[in-house]
């Protein structure tokens, strides 16, 4: 089974470049499942229904989220009814939406989990124990992909080692900067600290660099906007054993216009 995991899609430029790449570049990779982090898909902040529908139309099958989950209020109107959207599982009990989902790929069940790290982010429930509980509930599922949405490299690497041999892949998201440390860990879990983003290449994490610099230089309120210009597409392609669910390879993809 081949799984394509696309990094944080930022704004309209990210949506459109994801569409270009999924149409022109990705078909030759023959992915069986396409997952994307969509926490920045709507103007860089959150996910509304128009962005979700756009991503489904271009071939994204499941959307994971992160610390920007609730930036678009409209998400509350459809997150409970759309099983293709997964928000961090370690939000408090009673939070709308779901922290994991199970989909069917060529007759095989795939469990996709989203958790958020806690360093420099919200103090949610323990992400490690949260994943444990979900895995305990689905012992029969061999194909499991975890999106660990976290700020620090250490927390994401820790999650990779914690889950090695128990899940198919641990994919880091959130920093919007792709790391070059992709590997299959010894017990068979595909891992990368951060898959990167899809969006403007000459901004700061996808945001107009002039506005971010203005904020950093003045500490006055600034309304951020997604940048223009050339774009980048970042993803990883995982090859998973149909029989065991373990990763046999993980390959980084980064395309810059
Ligand atoms: Fe992001
Ligand atoms: Fe994030």
CATH of the domain at 203: 3.60.21.10
At 186, is the pLDDT very low, low, confident or very high (cuts 50, 70, 90)? Answer: very high
Residue 102 CA to ligand 1 center (angstroms) comes to 23
Q: Which of 68, 143, 149, 176 is catalytic?
A: 68
For the chain, the three-class secondary structure string (H helix, E strand, C coil) is CEEEEECEECHHHHHHHHHHHHHHCCHHHCCCEEEEECCCCCCCCCCCHHHHHHHHHCCCCEEECCCCCCCCCCHHHHCCCCCCEECCCCCCCCCCCCCEEEEEECCEEEEEEEEECCCCCCCCCCHHHHHHHHHHHCCCCCEEEEEEECCCHHHHHHHHHHHECCECEEEEECCCCCCCCCEECCCCCEEECCCCEEEECCCECCECHHHHHHHHHHCCCCCCCECCCCEEEEEEEEEECCCCCCEEEEEEEEEEC
Give distance in angstroms: CA of 8 to centre of ligand 1.
5
CA of 176 relative to ligand 2 center, distance in Å: 8
pLDDT at 48: 98
Owning domain of residue 185: 2-256
Which tens digits make up the pLDDT trace of 85-128?
A: 999 999 999 999 999 999 999 999 999 999 999 999 999 999 99
Number of domains within the chain: 1
Question: What distance in angstroms lies between residue 242's CA and the mean position of ligand 1's atoms?
Answer: 31
pLDDT-derived band at 197 (thresholds 50, 70, 90) equals very high
149 noted as active-site residue: no
Percent of the residues in the chain that have a pLDDT greater than 90, as a whole number: 99
């Amino acid at each position: 089974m081949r799984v394509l995991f696309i990094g944080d899609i930022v704004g309209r430029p990210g949506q459109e470049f994801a569409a270009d790449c999924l149409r022109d570049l990705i078909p030759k990779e023959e992915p069986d499942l396409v997952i994307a982090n969509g926490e920045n898909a709507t103007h860089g902040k959150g996910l509304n229904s128009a962005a979700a529908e756009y991503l489904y139309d271009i071939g994204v099958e499941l959307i994971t989220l992160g610390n920007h989950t609730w930036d678009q209020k409209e998400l509350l109107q459809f997150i409970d009814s759309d099983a293709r959207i997964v928000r961090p599982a370690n939000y408090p009990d009673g939070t709308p939406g779901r922290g994991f989902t199970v989909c069917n790929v060529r007759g095989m069940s795939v469990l996709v989990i989203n958790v958020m790290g806690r360093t420099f982010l919200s103090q949610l429930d323990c992400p490690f124990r949260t994943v444990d509980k979900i895995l305990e509930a689905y012992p029969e599922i061999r194909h499991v992909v975890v999106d660990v949405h976290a700020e620090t490299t250490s927390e994401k690497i820790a999650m990779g080692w914690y889950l090695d041999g128990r899940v198919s892949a641990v994919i880091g998201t959130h920093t919007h900067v792709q790391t070059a440390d992709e590997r299959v860990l010894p017990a068979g879990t595909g891992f990368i600290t951060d898959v990167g983003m899809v969006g403007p290449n000459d901004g700061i994490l996808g945001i107009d660099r002039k506005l971010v610099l203005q904020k950093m230089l003045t500490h006055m309120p600034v309304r951020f906007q997604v940048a223009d210009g050339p774009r980048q597409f970042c993803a990883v392609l995982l090859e998973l054993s149909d029989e065991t669910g373990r990763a046999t390879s993980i390959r980084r993809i980064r395309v810059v216009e």
